[in-house]
Amino acid sequence: MTKCPQLILASASPRRLELLAQIGIAPDAVRPADIDETPHKGERPQDYVRRMAHEKAAAISAAPDEIVLAADTVVTAGRRILGKPADRAEARAFLTLLSGRRHRVMTAIELRREDRHWSRCVPTIVKMRPLDTAEIEDYLESEEWQGKAGGYAIQGRAGAFVTWISGSFTAVVGLPLAETATLLNAARTAQKGTQ
Catalytic site residue from 72, 87, 132, 138: 72
Contacts with 172 (C-beta within 8 Å, 6 or more apart), sequence order: 73, 105, 107, 124, 126, 154, 165
Which residues partner with 77 through β-bridges? Answer: 80
How many Å separate Cα 15 from the centre of its chain? 9
Which residues partner with 9 through β-bridges? Answer: 30, 69
CA distance 8 to 109: 13
Q: Is 47 annotated in the active site?
A: no
CA distance 167 to 99: 19
SS3 content of the chain, % helix, strand, coil (to 5): 35, 25, 35
Contacts with 153 (C-beta within 8 Å, 6 or more apart), sequence order: 144, 145, 159, 173
Is the C-alpha dihedral spanning 128, 136, 18, 84 positive or negative? positive
Active site residues: 72
